[in-house]
Structure 1
Amino acid sequence: MAVAWAIAIKSGRSGWIDVIWSFALGGAGFAAALMPLGGASDLAARQWLVAAMAVLWALRLGGHILMRTLGGGDDPRYAHLRKEWGDAAPRRLFWFLQIQAAAAFLLTLSIAAAAHNPGSELGLSDLFGVALLLVAVVGEGLADRQLKQFRSNPANKSEVCDVGLWAISRHPNYFFQWLGWVAYAVIAVEFTGGYPWGWVALAGPAFMYWLLVYASGIPPLEEHMLRSRGDKFRAYQERVNAFWPGPPANRQSQKKTP
């Protein structure tokens, strides 16, 4: 994250921060999943499976942010922080990114806990975990694509995206990102008590939920949307859940007047 800080400062594009964080976390998860523990020399099928899950997640998210950054897009959250911090922005950004590094370490532990579940064979919990991750990756990718298509229409420049998945959640990409971390907990947790370390994996979805819903995800992004969209976004807030997908409170209000 120190490297991410240096690149962001030099290039003036904060998107590189999330690109590097995503790829670094995927790489750390891959290494943690395949790390030999307890003197074992052979890698279990579950280790390879979880390692592949971590790489798939990182390539999808990191690749998406990379293309957005190369296209000139930037994250309004970081832009607002730079403005708020003023001359102290470079120094404060550096320490802010070290907090992100600590967060990545905690999430890596969730991946490791799933990979090192000592169950001898792959079972239903492994298949369910993989299914959850695939749903998360596809869902987040679909949400990002729908938002990109909506923004590509000049007529929507000052509008709020409320189509597709964005009609049932104000942040469907965040929801699916959180769901991906639930997948590791499903694989790791052993209710018989034979693998107490598996409960460590619950830290991933719990921490990601807090991060997205209460810290660096929804709050700063919605502040930006309120500044840029005003009453249109307030109406969207009243109509659609912030995180959990669900039917709009008033479907009739979604209809746009000609």
Structure 2
Amino acid sequence: MNACWQLLIVWTLAAAMMSLGWRWQRTHANAGIVDVLWAAGVGGSAVLLAVLGSGAPWTRLLLAVLGGLWGSRLAVHLWRRVRGEPEDGRYRSLRAHWHGSEWKFFAFFQFQAVLVVLFALPFVAVSRNPAASGPWLLVAAAIWLLGVVGESIADAQLARFRSDPANRGHTCRQGFWRYSRHPNYFFEWLHWFAHVCLAIGSPIAWLAWSGPLLMYVFLRWISGVPYTEAQALLSRGEDYREYQRTTPMLIPWFPRRNDR
């Protein structure tokens, strides 16, 4: 089966899943479910493409394991937030901007199905790699472990901070959050380089670079940092402005002195 047919299957399954998710959000008035389904869809596409691929067995096995575990962890983490918290401010803003139009939300959910396909492109490159390289498999596993563990720790640090009522209206500066305003995003972006390593030797290895490139563009300019920081400024005001002045945005580094 060629890559186009494989991606068509991924899109069909993702579109059906997002349609069900749209119905769920109509009932629960919480569009945050789209993030849960996106993570599950991308992780599931790694497993599916590993099964359908024609590359070396060990490479495809590692793709299925790493991609599936990454998607499962992220989906479960996001589901706990969606289930236990009010609708995210990003989606409340969209709901107000669209005057509650469900058809616009349906189009938004289907756009996320297209994004599942785009983020599955690195998996196509990996699944067609005919030459599994032991050293590169180890490097890929190490990068994946650093990215997923780092993101898990950052998520846990933020959740622990937010669970304390005394921290309401304040910005988390604990752990990784002292060195980056978005350490969870940084480790999420880093994890995609694991698939670049897994694709080395594939005839379409260049396609694997779409993962870190797309993720950086979305996190930096589209759906990650801009929306998150806009909401943070609304809820935390000057405290977050000071955090912006002293703390690197994405790539962790030592905080700057605030001379103001």
Fold in common (TM above 0.5): yes
Matched, 1:178 2:189: yes
Structure 2 residue identity aligned to 1:5: W
State whether residues 51 and 60 of structure 2, in contact with CA within 8 Å, keep that contact through their aligned partners in structure 1.
yes
Structure 2 residue identity aligned to 1:13: N
Structure 2 residue identity aligned to 1:166: W
Pick closer, same or farther for the CA change 1:114–1:231 going to 2, 3 Å. Answer: same
Paired residue for 1:241?
Answer: 248
CA RMSD of superposed structures (Å): 1.8
| Alignment: residue pair count | 243
Paired residue for 1:117?
Answer: 129
Distance in 2, matches of 1:217 and 1:245, equals 16
Partner residue of 1:159 out of 170, 192, 208 = 170
Paired residue for 1:189?
Answer: 200
State whether residues 114 and 188 of structure 1, in contact with CA within 8 Å, keep that contact through their aligned partners in structure 2.
yes
State whether residues 45 and 122 of structure 1, in contact with CA within 8 Å, keep that contact through their aligned partners in structure 2.
no
Distance in 2, matches of 1:147 and 1:35, equals 38
Paired residue for 2:74?
Answer: 61
Alignment of 1:88-237 (within 5 A): 88=101, 90-119=102-131, 121-190=132-201, 195-237=202-244
5+ long unaligned stretches in structure 1: 254-258
State whether residues 154 and 183 of structure 2, in contact with CA within 8 Å, keep that contact through their aligned partners in structure 1.
yes
Cα displacement string for residues 31-54 of structure 1 (whole angstroms, at most 9, x for unaligned residues):
0112143xx8xx611101111011
Question: Match of 1:94, SS?
Answer: helix
Pick closer, same or farther for the CA change 1:137–1:252 going to 2, 3 Å. Answer: farther
5+ long unaligned stretches in structure 2: 1-17
Cα displacement string for residues 52-111 of structure 1 (whole angstroms, at most 9, x for unaligned residues):
0111101110010112222234322111111222143x2222212222211110111211
Matched, 1:48 2:65: no
Shift of 1:201: 0.5
Distance in 2, matches of 1:196 and 1:238, equals 45
Q: TM-score, normalised by structure 2?
A: 0.88
Distance in 2, matches of 1:135 and 1:74, equals 30
Paired residue for 1:256?
Answer: none
Question: Match of 2:98, SS?
Answer: helix
| Greater Cα offset, 226-235 or 109-118 | 109-118
Distance in 2, matches of 1:123 and 1:49, equals 11
State the identity as a percent: 37
